[in-house]
A and B are shown apart, each in its own frame.
Chain A
């Protein structure tokens, strides 16, 4: 039997819009103040995205463009990011009828920055800005992505 429950999860969360704004180059003093949440210095990362039920097509379209941007990038780190980045859709419904999309980054490309906004702008210039607005608008409530920076404890098969 399936049953819905609500559990509290505290995580580093960043709004889609804020994340993009934050991803702009920071002044040196700011850079020292806080690490970029879209960098995963550990072994892996997970980002939980809560998307409006009527905006899933938009969200998936933009992710397709992000994939294209990664594929056509000449930066080696973008290729490394793509290789370990998978997008999943949860079978379970999210809060408020939102659809949960999960980015699984395993392994994380060290020092690479996983902001979708930056990847889109890097790949498509001004069009990337428009795509990013579509992406941001697809987020439901909470209009945030929950980021988990993960360190491997044990691989049960090794």
Chain B
């Protein structure tokens, strides 16, 4: 029998909470604060990465718009690793609703680029420095319940 239940998923975040979840503040830090407040790089050292994003149901358009800007940022970046990241980074939307009516979006990194920083705010700020504050506020405000980050090691490809 199919059942809808709230499932407690224990996960380990690959980065401190300040960078694992969108920060609450949208105010741009002063230059002196930037060095202190800069989020720790979100790096995946695994074969495969999953990020579960819990988005407010009335903010899905904002979130998807942010993802559109993220795509643009990756494509226009002169850094080779950004192109590599884009090549293996896909975004899915779950048919199932998440807790509290949130909508679940899944980032699939197959494979993650070793050593590359996947912090969305950093990527947006790199490409759109003048719009960074607005873009990041739109992105951060769309979150209903943060993120789960799961680093995965390949055990078996059933077709090989």
Given known contacts A6-B10, A8-B99, A13-B5, A150 and B156 CB-to-CB distance under 8 angstroms:
no
| A79 to B154 CA separation, bound complex (whole angstroms) | 20
Q: Which B residues are within 8 Å of any A CB, using their own CB?
A: 1-14, 16-17, 46-48, 50, 52, 54, 64, 67-68, 70-71, 74, 83, 85-100, 104-106, 108, 110, 145-146, 148, 150-159
Asked whether B95 lies within 8 Å of A149 as measured between CB atoms, the reply is yes
Binary B-proximity of A58-77 (CB < 8 A = 1, otherwise 0): 00100110110010000000
Closest chain A residue, CB of each to CB of B64: A153
What would be 29 A-B contacts, judged by CB atoms less than 8 Å apart?
A2-B13, A3-B13, A4-B12, A5-B12, A7-B11, A7-B146, A9-B99, A11-B7, A12-B96, A43-B92, A60-B156, A63-B155, A82-B159, A87-B155, A90-B152, A91-B12, A91-B153, A102-B150, A147-B96, A148-B95, A150-B93, A150-B106, A152-B90, A153-B91, A153-B92, A156-B71, A156-B85, A156-B86, A156-B90
Instruction: Scan residues 1-24 of chain A and give those whose CB is less than 8 A from a CB of chain B.
Output: 1-14, 18, 22
Candidates A100, A151, A155; contact of B95 at CB < 8 Å: A151
Please indicate which of the listed interface residues B1, B9, B17 has the most CB atoms of chain A within 10 Å of its own CB.
Answer: B9
Given known contacts A9-B9, A10-B98, A94-B10, A106 and B158 CB-to-CB distance under 8 angstroms:
no
Contacts of B91 in A (CB 8 A): 152-156
Asked whether A154 lies within 8 Å of B7 as measured between CB atoms, the reply is no
| A146 to B154 CA separation, bound complex (whole angstroms) | 19
Does A93 belong to the interface (CB within 8 Å)? yes
Closest chain B residue, CB of each to CB of A104: B48
Contacts of A48 in B (CB 8 A): 9
Asked whether B70 lies within 8 Å of A156 as measured between CB atoms, the reply is yes
Please indicate which of the listed interface residues A88, A100, A148, A156 has the most CB atoms of chain B within 10 Å of its own CB.
Answer: A156
Asked whether A154 lies within 8 Å of B152 as measured between CB atoms, the reply is no
- How far, in Å, is B111 (CB) from chain A's closest CB? 11
| A1 to B153 CA separation, bound complex (whole angstroms) | 20
| A46 to B99 CA separation, bound complex (whole angstroms) | 17
Secondary structure of the B contact surface, majority rule: strand
Asked whether B6 lies within 8 Å of A8 as measured between CB atoms, the reply is yes
Asked whether B148 lies within 8 Å of A9 as measured between CB atoms, the reply is yes
Asked whether A148 lies within 8 Å of B10 as measured between CB atoms, the reply is no
Does A138 belong to the interface (CB within 8 Å)? no
Closest chain A residue, CB of each to CB of B150: A90
| A92 to B5 CA separation, bound complex (whole angstroms) | 23
- How far, in Å, is B93 (CB) from chain A's closest CB? 5
Contacts of B157 in A (CB 8 A): 85-87
Asked whether A46 lies within 8 Å of B50 as measured between CB atoms, the reply is yes
Does A44 belong to the interface (CB within 8 Å)? yes
Given known contacts A14-B2, A70-B158, A102 and B152 CB-to-CB distance under 8 angstroms:
yes
